[in-house]
């Protein structure tokens, strides 16, 4: 195989003959001169031919090629340089007509989301769409790097489980030999068990599954959750402190390393000094007073989330907001109730630009208290003995959270549908490609 130079490194090879590899992004002829844009994973380069008979190569858009030429400075090219062609090797040609246009930004923007997702591999060749998952990879690495620096151990937990982690019905069932099993809603039980196993601080980046019927712009049935759990906490504010520090770390890193991506999506990412924290009850009163929006329970609907973020932007100059102290009825069975007010919990959500991206809080760590909590929800503790027994042998006060990777990605880039931030989305109607 020919020694290859990546397009992003061409500037260090001025006046030198090199070989690049990639896809033909576009071809344009101007008299006897032909301009060919070549795209690889690092960018797009302009190749120019004056005497090489390109017609003999039957080049079309998305043809996979090796291209050899001399790197020359040219201020007229978008990158300030071009490749003077001396040879082309075709590796693979499209065998079918392209179902969508990859290289025309205006035409691509006209495509329906379903068309984009039905042709996912081609749509990801679009240079702007391709950037979504470069950013997502940066979020994943930031989460991992930050938490390791804070003394967390990365773990991987089972996705085939014997019972639900939240006591609900939103579970996908699977045939597991001679019995029924489920796909995990979250790694929650296992995170807590590993805190009790002595790791104290654990995190996981993994798939979770929710058998939810709704088909909206904010829901997926399979998504990636960024989870952590930490022991020896005082209360839920320790969990929020950790997430706040992570958000600052992440936003600084994205601004430093991926500002061109933000620019492509016309986004800025202000780094918060402090994320405000208000009880959800107070948020409901604000919505009623400021927006004449009355809620039947102390829980926000999608419109309420957008409005309270609008209020936070106006009054606190922030796009992030913690809502705390959710009602017990709105939180999972293992959530720690508030002392003196057990109808409310030591839990929280993090909202970002009008959308909930994180749910977390302090967990019950007392064995007897946990058994009572299961019974109060009409659940048989014996069905969860593999989990509850952990608490019989000494469990520190602990808590944690889960953040939806796709939602976080979508909100950073201003995407209107979370499916755009899922590389191969799974929703109510889609299980392919």
Residues of the chain with CATH 2.40.50.140: 7-92
- CATH architecture of the domain with range 7-92: Beta Barrel (2.40)
Task: Answer whether 344's CB lies under 8 Å from 327's CB.
Answer: yes
Given this model, what pLDDT does residue 168 score? 58
What SS3 class is residue 240?
A: helix
Listed as ranges, residues in the chain with pLDDT below 50 are none
- CA–CA distances in Å: residue 233 to residues 53, 149, 316, 340, 360: 71, 18, 28, 19, 13
pTM over 0.85: yes
- How confident is the model at residue 169, as a pLDDT? 62
Q: What is the DSSP letter of 318?
A: -
| pLDDT score at 54 | 81
Pick the CATH number of 127-421 from 3.30.930.10, 3.40.50.880, 3.40.50.300, 1.20.120.160: 3.30.930.10
Please answer whether residues 38 and 25 qualify as being in contact, where contact means their C-beta atoms are separated by less than 8 angstroms: yes
Main-chain phi, psi angles of 184, to 5 degrees: -65, 130
Tokens of residue 24, six digits: 């033909």
CA 260 to chain CA mean position, Å: 18
Rounded Cα–Cα distance for residues 113 and 123 (Å)? 10
Q: Strand order in 201-209's β-sheet?
A: 153-154, 201-209, 222-231, 398-404, 355-362, 347-352, 320-324, 277-279
Range list of β-strands (E), 31-94: 33-40, 43-49, 64-73, 81-92
Q: Which long-range contacts (CB under 8 A, 24 or more apart) does 203-207 make?
A: 203/143, 203/144, 203/147, 203/152, 203/153, 203/154, 203/155, 203/227, 203/228, 203/229, 204/154, 204/155, 204/156, 204/157, 204/228, 205/140, 205/143, 205/144, 205/154, 205/405, 206/156, 206/157, 206/159, 207/159
Phi-psi region of 38 (alpha: psi -120 to 50; beta: other; left: phi over 0): beta
Please say whether the dihedral angle defined by the alpha carbons of residues 207, 212, 215 and 218, taken in this order, is positive or negative.
negative
pLDDT score at 56: 81
Dist. CA 11–CA 431, nearest whole Å? 43
List 203's β-bridge partners, or say none.
154, 228
Q: Please give the Cα distance from 229 to 143 (Å, whole number).
A: 13
- Three-state DSSP class for 19? strand
d(CA 189, CA 137): 26
* C-alpha distances in Å from residue 266, one per residue of 105, 128, 260, 393, 414: 15, 12, 10, 53, 8
Which residue in 13, 94, 6 sits closest to 45, CA to CA? 6
Provide the 10 A C-beta neighbour count for residue 288: 12
Strands 43-49 and 81-92: parallel
């Amino acid at each position: 195989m020919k020694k290859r130079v990546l397009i992003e490194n061409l500037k260090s090879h001025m006046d030198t003959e090199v070989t690049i590899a990639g896809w033909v992004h576009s071809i344009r002829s101007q008299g006897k001169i032909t301009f060919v844009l070549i795209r690889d994973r690092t960018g797009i380069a302009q190749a120019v031919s004056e005497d090489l008979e390109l017609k003999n190569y039957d080049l079309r858009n998305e043809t996979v090629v090796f291209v050899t030429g001399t790197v020359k400075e040219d201020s007229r090219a978008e990158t300030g340089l071009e490749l003077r062609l001396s040879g082309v090797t075709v590796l693979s040609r499209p065998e079918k007509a392209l179902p969508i246009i990859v290289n025309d930004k205006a035409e691509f923007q006209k495509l329906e989301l379903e068309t984009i997702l039905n042709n996912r591999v081609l749509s990801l060749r679009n240079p702007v769409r391709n950037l979504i998952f470069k950013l997502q990879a940066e979020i994943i690495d930031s989460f991992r790097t930050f938490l390791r620096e804070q003394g967390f151990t990365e773990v991987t937990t089972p996705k085939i489980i014997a019972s639900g982690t939240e006591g609900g019905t939103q579970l996908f069932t699977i045939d597991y030999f001679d019995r029924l099993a489920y796909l995990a809603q979250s790694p929650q039980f296992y995170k807590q068990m590993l805190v009790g196993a002595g790791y104290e601080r654990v995190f996981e980046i993994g798939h979770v599954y929710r058998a939810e019927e709704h088909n909206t712009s904010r829901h997926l049935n399979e998504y990636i959750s960024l989870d952590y759990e930490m022991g020896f906490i005082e209360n839920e504010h320790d969990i929020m402190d950790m997430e706040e520090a992570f958000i600052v770390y992440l936003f600084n890193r994205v601004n430093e390393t991926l500002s061109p991506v933000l620019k492509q999506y016309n986004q800025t990412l202000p780094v918060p000094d402090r994320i405000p924290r208000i009880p959800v009850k107070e948020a409901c009163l604000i919505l009623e007073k400021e927006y004449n929006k009355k809620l039947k329970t102390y829980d926000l609907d999608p419109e309420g989330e957008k409005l309270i973020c609008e209020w936070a932007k106006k009054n606190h100059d922030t796009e992030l907001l913690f809502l705390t102290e959710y009602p017990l009825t709105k939180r999972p069975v293992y959530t720690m109730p508030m002392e003196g007010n057990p109808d409310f919990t030591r839990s929280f959500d993090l909202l970002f630009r009008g959308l909930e991206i994180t749910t977390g809080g302090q967990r019950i760590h007392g064995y007897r208290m946990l058994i009572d909590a299961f019974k109060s929800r009409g659940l048989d503790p014996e069905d969860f003995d593999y989990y509850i027994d952990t608490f019989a042998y000494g469990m520190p006060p602990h808590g944690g959270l889960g953040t939806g990777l796709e939602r976080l990605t979508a909100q950073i880039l201003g995407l209107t549908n979370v499916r755009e931030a899922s590389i191969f989305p799974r929703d109510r109607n889609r299980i392919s490609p």
